[in-house]
Amino acid sequence: MATQITPSQNSKLGTNSKTIAGSTYLSASRAGSGKSFDPYIDTVDLSSTSKDSISSNTSNITTLQNDVSTLKISNKHVSNAGKGESMTFNLDLSINSVGAQTLTISTIDIVNLTAGSGYGLPTIASVDATLGKNNRFLVNNFMMSDHSRFVVQATCENQIGFGHTRKQEEVNIEVSGVASDTFYFRLVDKKGIPLTNLQIAKKATLRLRFEISGTNR
pLDDT tens sequence across 62-77: 776 666 555 555 444 4
Is residue 129 located within the same domain as residue 174?
yes
Confidence of residue 78 (pLDDT cuts 50, 70, 90): very low
Residues 90 and 167 in one domain: yes
Same domain, 38 and 106: no
200 in the same domain as 131: yes
User: Residues 99, 200: one domain?
Assistant: yes
In this structure, is residue 68 part of a structural domain? no
Which alpha helices (H) appear in the chain, and where do they start and end? 48-56, 58-76, 197-201
> What's the domain count of the chain?
2
- Same domain for 208 and 135: yes
Residues 92 and 167 in one domain: yes
190 lies in some domain: yes
pLDDT of residue 216: 62
Determine the average pLDDT of the residues in 39-55: 81
Residue 151 in any domain: the answer is yes
145 in any annotated domain: yes
Beta strands in the chain (DSSP E): 3-5, 26-31, 41-46, 86-95, 101-111, 123-126, 137-140, 151-156, 160-161, 169-170, 172-179, 182-188, 206-213
User: What pLDDT score does 76 carry?
Assistant: 45
Reported as a single tens digit per residue, the pLDDT across 92-112 is 999 998 889 999 999 999 988
Quick one: 182 and 132 in the same domain? yes
Confidence of residue 137 (pLDDT cuts 50, 70, 90): very high
Do 119 and 20 lie in one domain? The reply is no
Give the whole-angstrom CA distance, residue 143 versus residue 212: 10
Give residue-wise pLDDT tens across range 143-178.
Answer: 888 888 899 999 998 754 444 444 446 889 999 999
Same-domain pairing of 196 and 102: yes
69 within domain boundaries: no
Residue 81: per-residue pLDDT: 45
Range of the domain at 175: 86-213
Q: How far is CA 108 from the centre of its chain?
A: 24
Residue 189 within a domain: yes
Cβ atoms within 10 A of the Cβ of 86, count?
19
Q: What is the pTM of this model?
A: 0.57
Q: Give the pLDDT confidence score for residue 198 in this predicted structure.
A: 92
Q: Is 165 or 26 the better-scoring residue by pLDDT?
A: 26
Domain assignment of residue 72, yes or no: no
In a domain, 67, yes or no: no
Question: Do 158 and 105 share a domain, yes or no?
Answer: yes
Parallel, antiparallel, or unpaired: how do β-strands 137-140 and 182-188 relate? Answer: antiparallel
